[in-house]
Every structure is written in structure tokens, then in C-alpha cells.
């Protein structure tokens, strides 16, 4: 099992986005993945819509009367992907461990219970500080991915994190390597390229070739409660994280006991479709779906639209040259798109909206 921490004390540099979407991409490649939410903010847990009674705190703490084994808290998210959830209560572990001997190994001990399990990867989402939780995560890992958003401030803090990784390596004689991943890269900003070149120069092989670009679908999928692959698998964000997973897979040790059942997922088999976003401004609505010819008028979870501050959006991949009929379903009521003048009467005497691609 490869154990990988996603760490950087800088807040908002894409740790959770990377942890969730790399885990999902590896799972899509047939790897069995355990995502460990190790941040008391519990963004990965919330971002995957998981509510759990017990969480990683109950595995780590020796004081809680609700002590649990790792396998008791694990929740299945989707095929090949499990989650060890977190909760705000995890903040109390800092205090509990303050005077403990061997306190930096608590997560490693917890993970040893699943060392013989059939997980290929454990991915640990760290909090935005260099406290005892992050140190525990690094001590439990053999690899650290450091997401860096190319801005001056994110690059400045890197040295401290790398010092800590090296300290753990030397003092605790623990084999752990790190690799920098450029995230939230905005190709419209000139200085981003300059920082990218500096990082490549500084880190060379210790940096991923894959770059994660700015992509709004990554943000939207989080509020939608899923990975970007379940939200919009054709988006730039999905392609980037899929490519990162391929880069990770390339460095799997030969002979590692992986149950490789590669599903040739995205890029290779992408049909040449046009990406269209449908939108409905309706701040008061609780639940909005879009159904049409493109999804056989189904109103299941794949048809759900994302709420972006009262503007409901959904991106669709449609075949160019075709015309599609569609309607919105707002809190159970079917309506015609009020902003699309192109309509056609349907057999029920109502109007379907028309999309010509
Ligand atoms: N490539 C991207 N493009 C657009 N938005 C992104 C991208 N990566 C992350 N974001 C957004 O930036 C915000 C911060 O990302 P994220 O939560 O992954 O960072 P983090 O390092 O885990 O933050 P924290 O330090 O608070 O744990 C989120 O709103 C996320 O949706
Ligand atoms: Mg986070």
C-alpha cells in the first residue's frame, strides 16, 4: 500500500481538492483507495457528502470512551473508494498528544491495522498547519505531495515544510520523499509562468509534470458533494487529475500486488462532444434538475443542477449538429426555460425548450 500525505501549511492551495480527486482518479483506474480526512475542518468529508457517527479522532484518541478501530469508521464512497472521515473534534487530539511519548506515530499505528488489507493507496488530506496532525501524517507516509499555487506567498513557506520532511527522514530514520504539484494554475497570468519555471528549476524530478489548472468545475463539484469525475468527467479539472493519477501509476513499484483492472476511462475514449452549460436563475429553489433528449428525460442524480448562489447550472456534453429538447424540474414542477426563446409544443400541450448545438 502506498501511503501519501497531501500537505502544505498554506491554506487554500488545493490540498483537499487534490486528495479527493486524485483518490477518485486512482479508483477509476482500478486501484482500491482509502482517503483519510485528517483535517479537523473535515472538508473532504463534507465535500463528499458523508455524515458519520465516528471518525478518525475515535481511532487516534486513547481517552475517548467511543474508541474505534480504523475499519469501524471507514465509509464506502464509490467503487474502489473508501473514506475515513474527520470531524472538528479532531482538534482536541493536539492537546491529548501534547505530552505523549511517540505522539508522532499515532496515525502510523492506526494504519498498521490495514497494512495487510487490499488497499493499493491511502491518501491523507492534511490540515493547513505544521502541527502534530501533519507530522503524524508525514510519519505514516512514504510520499508527500505538496500542492503549490503559483504565487509568491505559497512558494515562501515551502522551505519550512521541506525542512520538516527532511527532519522526519533523518531523525526518525523514516523513508519519505516529497513531490511538488502545481495547482490552481491560471495561464492568463504572466507571473504564474515565471513561478512555474522557478519551481521546475528548483525541484526538477521532485515535481510532477502534470499541472492542475484553474477550473471552476473543481469548485462546483465540491459544493455538489462529489469528485469532479462524478460532476463533470469531461472538464479540464477531471482531465488534469486523471493525468496526475496516470503519473502516479507510472511510479508504482514493479511487482507491487495491485489488482489492476484498468478501465480505460476518460481521454482515450472521449467522443468529440461540445460542452454546453444550461443555467436557470432561481434563488428560491431547493432542488433543480434538467431533463431532455440527451438523458432520456431522466430526473435522477445525474440530472441534478448545481446551486451557485441561486443560479442553477449544469454542464452537458452534446453532439454538434444536433437539436435537443429539454425542460427544468424545479422542486418537482416541470417548467420551460424562461430565458430561451426557442420552444416547441410537446404532446402534453406544454412547451419544451430547444437547444441547437
Ligand atoms: N484547480 C482549481 N481551480 C479552481 N478552484 C480550485 C482549484 N483547486 C482548488 N480550488 C478551490 O480553492 C479553494 C481551496 O481549495 P482546497 O480546499 O482544495 O484547498 P486546501 O489547501 O485544502 O485548503 P485548506 O488549507 O483550508 O484545507 C476551494 O474552494 C476549491 O474549490
Ligand atoms: Mg483542505
Domain boundaries, the chain: 2-265, 271-356
For position 357, what pLDDT does the model report? 82
Q: Is the pLDDT of residue 255 over 50?
A: no
pTM (global) more than 0.85 = no
The DSSP output letter for 215 is: -
Closest ligand 1 atom, CA of 11? Answer: 25
Per residue in 41-85, pLDDT (tens digit) is 999 999 999 999 999 999 999 989 999 999 999 999 999 999 999
Q: Give the H or E element holding residue 245.
A: helix 236-250
Architecture of domain 271-356: Sandwich (2.60)
Closest ligand 1 atom, CA of 240? Answer: 1
For position 263, what pLDDT does the model report? 43
> Which of 332, 344, 337, 333 is CA-nearest to residue 316?
337
Report the C-alpha gap between 122 and 37 in whole angstroms.
10
Question: Residue 274 — pLDDT band, cuts 50, 70, 90?
Answer: confident
Q: Is the pLDDT of residue 258 over 70?
A: no
Report the C-alpha gap between 111 and 69 in whole angstroms.
10
For residue 340, give the 3-state DSSP assignment.
Answer: coil
Q: Is the pLDDT of residue 88 over 70?
A: yes
Superfamily of domain 2-265: P-loop containing nucleotide triphosphate hydrolases (3.40.50.300)
Q: Which residues crowd ion ligand 2, with CB under 5 Å?
A: 15-16, 43
Report the C-alpha gap between 298 and 31 in whole angstroms.
31
Q: Ligand 1 pocket: which residues have CB below 6 Å?
A: 11-17, 39, 41, 43, 128, 183-184, 212, 214-215, 218-219, 222, 237
Tell me the CA–centroid distance for residue 128 and ligand 2, in Å.
7
Per residue in 100-153, pLDDT (tens digit) is 778 889 999 999 988 778 899 999 999 999 999 999 999 999 999 999 999 867
Amino acid at each position: 500500500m502506498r501511503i501519501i500525505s497531501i500537505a502544505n501549511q498554506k491554506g487554500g492551495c488545493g490540498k483537499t481538492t487534490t486528495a479527493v480527486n486524485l483518490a477518485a482518479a486512482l479508483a477509476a483506474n482500478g486501484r482500491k483507495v482509502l482517503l483519510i480526512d485528517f483535517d479537523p475542518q473535515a472538508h473532504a468529508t463534507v465535500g463528499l457528502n458523508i455524515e458519520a457517527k465516528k471518525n478518525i479522532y475515535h481511532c487516534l484518541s486513547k481517552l475517548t470512551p467511543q474508541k474505534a478501530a480504523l475499519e469501524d469508521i471507514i465509509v464506502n464512497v464509490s467503487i474502489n473508494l473508501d473514506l475515513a472521515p474527520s470531524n472538528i473534534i479532531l482538534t482536541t487530539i493536539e492537546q491529548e498528544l501534547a505530552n505523549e511519548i511517540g505522539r508522532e506515530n499515532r496515525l502510523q499505528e492506526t494504519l498498521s491495522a490495514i497494512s495487510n488489507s487490499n488497499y493499493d493507496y491511502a491518501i491523507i488530506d492534511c490540515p493547513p498547519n505544521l502541527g502534530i496532525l501533519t507530522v503524524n501524517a508525514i510519519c505514516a507516509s512514504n510520499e508527500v505531495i505538496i500542492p503549490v499555487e503559483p504565487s509568491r506567498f505559497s512558494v515562501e513557506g515551502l522551505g519550512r515544510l521541506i525542512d520538516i520532511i527532511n527532519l522526519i527522514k533523518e531523525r526518525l530514520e523514516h523513508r519519505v520523499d516529497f513531490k511538488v504539484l502545481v495547482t490552481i494554475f491560471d495561464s492568463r497570468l504572466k507571473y504564474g509562468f515565471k513561478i512555474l519555471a522557478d519551481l521546475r528549476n528548483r525541484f526538477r524530478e521532485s515535481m510532477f509534470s502534470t499541472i492542475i489548472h484553474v477550473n471552476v468545475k473543481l469548485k462546483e463539484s465540491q459544493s455538489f458533494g462529489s469528485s469532479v469525475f462524478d460532476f463533470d468527467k469531461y472538464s479540464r479539472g477531471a482531465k488534469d487529475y486523471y493525468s496526475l493519477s496516470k503519473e502516479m501509476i507510472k511510479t508504482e513499484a514493479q511487482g507491487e500486488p495491485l489488482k489492476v483492472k484498468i478501465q480505460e476511462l476518460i481521454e482515450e475514449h472521449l467522443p468529440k462532444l461540445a460542452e454546453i452549460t444550461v443555467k436557470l436563475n432561481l434563488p428560491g429553489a431547493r432542488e433543480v434538475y434538467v431533463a431532455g433528449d440527451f438523458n432520456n428525460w431522466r430526473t435522477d442524480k445525474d440530472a441534478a443542477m448545481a446551486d451557485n448562489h441561486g443560479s442553477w447550472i449544469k454542464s452537458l456534453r452534446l453532439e454538434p449538429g444536433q437539436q435537443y429538447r429539454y425542460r427544468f424540474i424545479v422542486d418537482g414542477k416541470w417548467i420551460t426555460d424562461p430565458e430561451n426563446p426557442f420552444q416547441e409544443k410537446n404532446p402534453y400541450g406544454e412547451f419544451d425548450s430547444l437547444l441547437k448545438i
